[in-house]
Structure 1
Amino acid sequence: MAVKRMRDTDKIDRPRERIAAAGPEVLKNHELVAAIIGKGIPGHDVNAIATDITALLDEKGTGVTYNDLVEIQGIGDSRASQMVASFELARRYLTRSKTTISRPEDILMMTTDLLHKHQEYFVAFTLNGAGEIIHRHTITKGTLTHSPVHPREVFAPALIDRAASVIFVHNHPSGNTEPSDADIAITRTLAEAGDILGIRVLDHVIVAATGHTSLKERGLF
C-alpha cells in the first residue's frame, strides 16, 4: 500500500499540528519521525522517508547509526545528524530514571516471572558504570533441572550494551535455592571471563518461590 503524501493530508492531521493540539503521545512512530525531519525531497515525501526510518528502527532499535540513516533516500548529513542527536538526547535523559542495583534484593522484583517457571531460565542484567540497569536478557531456557550456558552467549549482549558489569539470575523450579556444584563452577568461569573482558560479574542469584540465594554473599566466587 502506497504511503500517503504529507501534502495530501489535512493540515489539522499533520504531525506537528497534532503535537501542538494534543501532544506527542497521540502520534504513531512514523509520525513522530516525520515531525522531527519536517519535510521530504522531490519525489520522496516526508511520510515515505519517515516510514523507511521507522522500518530501520524496528529492525535495529537503539543500534541505528548515522551511517545507517544516510543510506536512506532523502536523509543526508544534516538529517542523519538531527536524528542521532535526538536518539542520544533521549537516551541521556532516560538513563536518569534507571534502576540502580546495590544488593540482591534489588533484582528480585524484576525476576518474579521466573519463580513459577517449570524450566530453568538463565537471565543476565547488564549495568552501566553507575550500577544502573541497561537491559535484561534471557540467555537460555533449559530443562527442569539444567540450563546450560556458555561465556560467549552470556557476554555477547553485555558487549553490545557496552556494559560495565552484569548480574546473573536463574531459577530453580524445584524450589531449592541451594547452588549446585555446576552453578558454582559456571559462575566462577563466567567471573573469570568477565575479568578478561573488563565486565565485572557483580552477583549470581538463584531464585525460587521459596526465596533466593546470592552466590556473591555466600563467597562462592
Structure 2
Amino acid sequence: MKEPILNEQLMDIGGFTHSLVHNKNLQQFETVHIDLTKSEEELLQKLHRTNRKQINKASRHNFHILVIDKPTIADIRAFQKFYNHFAKFTNTYSCNSFHVNTMSKLKDKNALVITQLLNEENEILCYRVYISDGDTVFSLYSASHFRLKEKKEEKRLLSLASRYLLWRNILYFKDLNLTIYDMGGLTANENIRSFKMEFGGEITPVYSGYEANSLVGKLVLWVRTIKMRKG
C-alpha cells in the first residue's frame, strides 16, 4: 500500500495508521500482511496445519457470520459494549469515547466494516472490526465472548469460532478484490504473535502516529492524549 490506511489530514495535524511509507516522525511497528491476490487454495496451504484442522472442524458447526459493511452508530455502540466486557475480563484497555468517535468518522467515510460470528442460538461469540481503503484491510479490533472461557469445552469452541471468523473474513475481503489483509500489528505477547503468524502472512514494517504541522497541532495532540487517558 502506497498510502496510509487512515490519513486524517487537517491544517495542523496529519494522522497515519499502518502506512508503508517510512516517516521518521512516526513510530515503527511490525505487522503481518496476507497477500489476498493469492488463490484460496494457496492461502489455505499457507495456514499452519493446526489452523487448517480447526477451520475445517469449525465449518461443521452451525455458525453464522454477519458482515456489517455499512455500520450505524448503534452497531458501533453494540460492539463497544461487547468489547468492554471482554476487555474487563482479559484485563486489556477499554473502547472509550475517543475510539467510538474515531470509528464513527471511519463509518462516515465508508471505511469501517464490522463482522460477527453467531452460534445457532444467534448469540454473538466473536467480533472483528476493520478499516478498509479499497486496497488494504486493517484489523482494528477483535473480541470474543468472555463468558465462554469458564469451561474447557467452551474454550475450545471459542478458539474454533475465532479462527473461523478470521479465515472467513480473509476470504470475504479477497472476494472484494482487496490486495492486502493487515493483521493489525504484532506485540511482545507470544500467544498473540503466534496466533497471527499461523495465518501464513509475512512480517512487514509499518508506521503509525500523528504529526503536528504547527503549534496548534501540538496542543491538539496533547489534549488528545489527556482525553484518551480519561476515556
Instruction: Give the shorter-chain TM-score range.
Output: under 0.3
> Whose strand proportion is higher, 1 or 2?
2
> Whose helix proportion is higher, 1 or 2?
1
Between Structure 1 and Structure 2, whose CA radius of gyration is higher? 1
Query: Structure 1-normalised TM-score?
Result: 0.26
Query: With CA pairs under 8 Å and 6+ residues apart, which has the higher RCO, 1 or 2?
Result: 2
Query: Structure 2-normalised TM-score?
Result: 0.25
